[in-house]
Structure 1
Amino acid sequence: MEPWLVGIDLGGTTIKMAFVTTEGDIVHKWEIPTNTANRGEHIVADIARSLEKTLAQLGGAKERLLAAGIGAPGPVEEETGMLYETVNIGWTNYPLKQRLEEATGLPVSVDNDANLAALGEMWKGAGGGARHLLFVTLGTGVGGGVIANGAIVRGINGAGGEIGHMTMIPDGGARCNCGKTGCLETIASATGIVRIAKEKLTADERPSELRNGDVTAKAVFDAAKAGDALALEVVDEATYYLGWALANAANVTNPEKIVIGGGVSKAGDMLVERVAAHFRRFAFPRVAAGAKLVLATLGNDAGVIGAAWLAKELVGA
């Protein structure tokens, strides 16, 4: 009977789950809605119930499961698996490791969701096993994960790798959800790209494709690819700051791979080429020579595969 690891990726809207082999291959994956009622009090029970039900449907025995890894949005205390704060779920100082171990009877390891996506890409995705890797995810916000010598850099209180909160505009920048202003997240996230585009549309009379429908990050990149001058300016601004931030982060860590994921990464080659040009401008030459910028390949599976890696490490499988 082949043993399985459990990978769980806890988001504000859905909880993605998977049974994964010790080689990192997904056996079965599914998702359930995240019930955030009463400050998320039902979430752990929902996860345990769904695991049990799905295992039974697949005809698996409980003994088959070795351990579970779970990623959650927000800083995690490494030793205890305590979540300090998850804004979109409602948890504060929540003992996720303890609660999930009690509910499932499995050993559990907890980490930040972006860290787990980084581990997933390292293990089975674009990282290709690179032991020195920077990961940045461009979605509603900007998440980051730093892997040094095969291990996630977590820092003293779980906030290592917060690339999205590097200050790029010291004065007069837009306010970020973290409470600071001028963070990379306010510029290079899907939300930031839309904000910059709307500001330019208001301040500028030029004709633009972006005046003809909903302004989304995808619409901005599509218009830019079609040669729309205003959209190109927005893309240039976002990729300039992202390339600069990644160069600064890389100058500290000297990575082999820099993996770009999240919804905005669907812009593909246009995004990578422009970010890479700015990256090379700002990176220390030897750092630039060692690093390759690539698009993430695992998509929504990165989190559950990274969580399974965490579970594998926990039990030494």
Structure 2
Amino acid sequence: MDVYLIFDMGGTSVKYACGDEEGCLKDTGSFPTPSDGLEAMLDEMRRVFDSVKEKITGIALSSPGAVDPVKGIVGGISAIPYIHEISLTERISRRLDGLPVTIENDGNCSALGELWKGAAAGKRNIVSVVCGSGIGGSIVINGAVCRGRTNNCGEFGNCLVNRADGHYKTWSSYTMVKQAAKYTAATGKRTDGKGLFELAEGGDPLALQLTEEFYEAMAVGLFSIQFTLDTELIVLGGGISEAPFVIPEIYKRMEKMAKEDRFGFLTPKIVPCRFGNKANLYGALFHHLQEMKQYKVRLF
């Protein structure tokens, strides 16, 4: 059976694994994202490639930014500036023995991974929402990723959720990472998203206010997605998906909104992702397998 090498490029680290056509992953690991430029990234990828005992037949990439999977170019901006506006898949292929390289946006990979083997298996129309330091995601209709005119479809974090302090606020302004930073700035007490939840549970007034803002923004954003797409399922990913109380708390805010405005029939079905931070690896592999099938069809 063919074996593929998968890289999930993130701003802090690059995860990797070997996978087969059945979606079985092994030899997983990671390395810190090089800060010295593309050549350092290629050197690390080559090191991983050389360390794999199996014969690799292709390379699958998950990447931040506005990915053009046909041209193999990453547009927009991301935390890895040196991967943008170059023939990235071609450069990687040259370094890795000329093997075929495919690339897909990381948000799309997360959705595809859950659609293939995860929480959305068997569905055709889903939305993936990934909540980390910002909000990202992907829209899948009839089993295919929606890309949009500029490959930015599904960038939900830029959606406006309210107006505060004379400025429009986007969904990404209210992630728990951002809310924790607001708490630290106001009190001088350093905390993170998990710590902010714990402070709120203990009755801290500011922590309660900030977590409530987070839940309200999540409810508004997810309702807006459902109003627009009327999707079968919304898969929630990112660090918050690992906290079992988050989705029930979001539903409480949705129920209140629905009762006030009589649109409860549009309340979405929300489920946590199955694969967590490995979803991008599964999705990049699935995308690679689909691309290789299409390539073979075009050949014959």
Confirm or deny: 8 A CA contact 1:132 1:256 kept in the other structure: yes
The AA in structure 1 aligned to 2:271 is: V
Q: Report matched runs for 1:120-139 at 5 Å.
A: 120-139=113-132
Task: Report what 1:154 is aligned to.
Answer: 147
Alpha-carbon distance in 2 for matches of 1:112, 1:157: 12
Confirm or deny: 8 A CA contact 1:132 1:149 kept in the other structure: yes
Task: Report what 2:298 is aligned to.
Answer: none
Q: More relative contact order in 1 or in 2 (CA 8 Å, sep 6+)? A: 1
Q: Cα offset for 1:285?
A: 4.4
Alpha-carbon distance in 2 for matches of 1:34, 1:230: 35
Q: In structure 2, which of residues 173, 195, 202 is the aligned counterpart of residue 186 of structure 1?
A: 173
1:69 aligns with 2:60: yes
1:96 aligns with 2:85: no
Q: In structure 2, which of residues 212, 224, 229 is the aligned counterpart of residue 253 of structure 1?
A: 229
Alpha-carbon distance in 2 for matches of 1:231, 1:215: 10
SS of alignment partner, residue 86 of structure 2: strand
Alpha-carbon distance in 2 for matches of 1:110, 1:121: 17
SS of alignment partner, residue 154 of structure 1: coil
1:296 aligns with 2:283: no
The AA in structure 1 aligned to 2:179 is: I
Structure 1 stretch 279-288 or stretch 221-230: which is displaced more?
A: 279-288
Confirm or deny: 8 A CA contact 1:172 1:182 kept in the other structure: no
CA shift in 2, pair 1:173/1:261, >3 Å? farther
CA shift in 2, pair 1:54/1:272, >3 Å? same
Q: Cα offset for 1:227?
A: 4.4
TM-score, reference length from structure 2: 0.86
Structure 2 spans left out of the alignment, 5+ residues: 295-300
1:197 aligns with 2:183: yes
CA shift in 2, pair 1:108/1:285, >3 Å? farther
SS of alignment partner, residue 75 of structure 2: strand
Q: Cα offset for 1:41?
A: 3.2
The AA in structure 2 aligned to 1:13 is: T
Task: Report what 1:49 is aligned to.
Answer: 47
CA shift in 2, pair 1:119/1:173, >3 Å? farther
SS of alignment partner, residue 94 of structure 1: coil
Task: Report what 1:206 is aligned to.
Answer: none
Per-residue CA distance 1:118-158 (angstroms, 9 max, x = gap): 21122222223322111111212221111112111111121
Task: Report what 2:38 is aligned to.
Answer: 40
Task: Report what 1:276 is aligned to.
Answer: 251
Confirm or deny: 8 A CA contact 2:130 2:237 kept in the other structure: yes
Q: Cα offset for 1:86?
A: 4.0
The AA in structure 2 aligned to 1:72 is: S
Q: Cα offset for 1:40?
A: 3.0
Structure 1 stretch 10-19 or stretch 118-127: which is displaced more?
A: 118-127
Q: Report matched runs for 1:231-250 at 5 Å.
A: 231-250=207-226
1:118 aligns with 2:111: yes
The AA in structure 1 aligned to 2:233 is: K
Alpha-carbon distance in 1 for matches of 2:80, 2:212: 34
SS of alignment partner, residue 41 of structure 1: helix
Alpha-carbon distance in 1 for matches of 2:44, 2:184: 40
Confirm or deny: 8 A CA contact 1:24 1:305 kept in the other structure: yes
Aligned length: 288
Following superposition, which runs of at least 4 residues in structure 1 exceed 6 angstroms of deviation?
none
Structure 1 stretch 103-112 or stretch 149-158: which is displaced more?
A: 103-112
Task: Report what 2:28 is aligned to.
Answer: 29
Confirm or deny: 8 A CA contact 2:66 2:150 kept in the other structure: yes
Structure 1 spans left out of the alignment, 5+ residues: 175-180, 203-210
Task: Report what 1:205 is aligned to.
Answer: none
Alpha-carbon distance in 1 for matches of 2:149, 2:128: 20
The AA in structure 1 aligned to 2:183 is: A
Confirm or deny: 8 A CA contact 2:174 2:214 kept in the other structure: yes
Structure 1 stretch 276-285 or stretch 92-101: which is displaced more?
A: 276-285
